[in-house]
Amino acid sequence: MATNKTVDYRFKILYAIGMIMVVGSHASGGGITALSDWFPYHGVHLALFMFCSGYFYKSSAEDNVSKYILKKIQVLIVPFYIYNVVYGLIVQFLRTKGFEMGGDFNLQNLTIAPITSGHQFVYNMGGWFLVPLFMVEIYNVLLHKLIKKIHKNTTEWAFGALGIFAGILGNQLACMGYRQNWWLVLVRMLYFVPFYELGILYRSKLETIDKKIPSSWYFAVLFAAQLAIIYHYGKVPSYIPSWCGDFIEGPIMPIVIGVLGIALWLRIANLLEPVIGRSKWINAIADSTYSIMMNQFLGFMIVKTGYALISKVSSRFSDFDFVSYKTDIWWFYTPKGITQTLIVYVVAGLVFPIFVQKAIDQGKQILSARFSKHL
């Protein structure tokens, strides 16, 4: 996330916002409604993350595509499968304690299901996004390499247009019912392509234009556009890209909703950058996105387990549902039914993965130091 060796704290904030929205949406809203009644988290959060990834794409990757792909396999896919094995073992252990969530520890769930579903062991299902992220990045570098060989002066406007076409095609396939097994792998990737290409286009062409627009006019146009959409459909369109099964407004609107949400939070990040850009916790969240995607549900389970233990030793939380606790990953206990207490899950879904990431980083440093000493 560095540009000319200078950290761009706007994007630290954007990554943090995206992660908070992801965790909040997975925790039944997380007790947070920050503009979600206008710009729903679903259909925005992962599009925002993909936009940020595109923004930091470097054309120098096209000089050595094989090296770029191997690097992406190393940083995205290898730990993805390591986490999958770990969570597969966790599921088998929890079964001995009466928990019924998660699939069997078999070859299908260890190799194929992480790609075609990503929900095989439930506790790590937030990691499904890493496969389409990897695919979009590979698609992008190969497309840039190929097109520039044919016409070296092709601009990012053209790649942006191709990205929109790819997104519409994928969304149309999903609308037609092609969203099972390997079709789902394809349409997930195509859904995200426009947002990644938008990130590249924004950095190369649109950013200078964006900086010239006053915030008052910027927000006025955004909210007017969103209000027109809400009025037309009689609701706030919201989409869940993990299954691509709710594109009932057609193939174009999921892209429009994502772009409007990105535009909103991008300007908010610009305004917040002088205030919280260097916040320790904002940067911790932004630097732990991989771990948060993978480990947030285990953070939720830690909170549920805390409630369960308290209910065992006192009369507090006596209405805790132990059956749902052990059988339904989407069940969240809220004391006295107060939805604002869901914020506890959001905090745990962020803080626990950050500590996991810190532990992994520390372990790598220790191993690296010992290896260097040995050599």
Tell me the pLDDT band of 6, cut-offs 50, 70 and 90: confident
Residue type, position 260, single letter: L
Give residue 97's Cα distance to chain centre: 31
Percent of the chain with pLDDT over 70: 98
Residue 131 has pLDDT above 90, yes or no: yes
What pLDDT is attached to residue 3? Answer: 43
Q: Output the pLDDT for position 81.
A: 97
Region at 161 (left for phi over 0; alpha for psi -120 to 50; beta for the rest): alpha
Write out the two tokens for 230. 């809400």
The 3-state DSSP class for residue 3 equals strand
Relative orientation angle of helices 9-26 and 253-276, to the nearest 10 degrees: 120
pLDDT tens-digit series, residues 236-278: 999 999 999 889 999 999 999 999 999 999 999 999 999 998 9
Query: What is the pLDDT, as a whole number, of residue 375?
Result: 61
Does position 313 have pLDDT exceeding 50, yes or no?
A: yes
Indicate the pLDDT class of residue 36, thresholds 50, 70 and 90. confident
Rounded distance between C-alpha atoms, residue 323 and residue 87, angstroms: 21
pLDDT at 210 over 80: yes
Token pair in block for residue 327 = 């059988």
Contact partners, residue 323, CB within 8 Å, separation at least 6: none
CB 271 within 8 A of CB 200: no
pLDDT one-digit tens code per residue, 294-312: 999 999 999 999 999 999 9
Least confident of 29-33, 43-47, 128-132, 243-247: 29-33
Q: Which residues contact 332 (CB under 8 A, 6 or more apart)?
A: 27, 28, 300, 304, 342, 345
Distance CA 177, CA 184 (A): 10
How many Cβ atoms from other residues are within 10 Å of residue 170's Cβ? 27
Helix ranges, the chain (H): 9-26, 45-55, 65-72, 78-95, 107, 113-116, 130-150, 156-175, 181-201, 207-210, 215-233, 253-276, 280-286, 289-313, 322-327, 343-374
Mean predicted confidence (pLDDT) in 75-103: 96
State the first-to-last Cα distance of the chain, in angstroms, to the nearest integer. 32
**pLDDT higher than 90, residue 34:** no
Residue whose C-alpha is closest to residue 263's, from 224, 302, 312, 314: 224
Percent over 90 (pLDDT), the chain: 85
Min mean pLDDT across 1-15, 48-62, 67-81, 229-243 is at 1-15
Tell me the mean pLDDT in the region 136-145: 95
Per-residue pLDDT at 1: 45
Q: Tokens for 245? A: 């099964």
Distance, CA of 375 to CA of 359 (rounded, Å): 24
Q: How confident is the model at residue 140 (pLDDT cuts 50, 70, 90)?
A: very high
pLDDT attached to residue 374 = 67
Q: 58-62, 183-187, 302-306: which has the minimum mean pLDDT?
A: 58-62
CB-side exposure of 278: number of CA atoms within 13 Å? 4
* 69/60 Cα distance (integer angstroms): 13
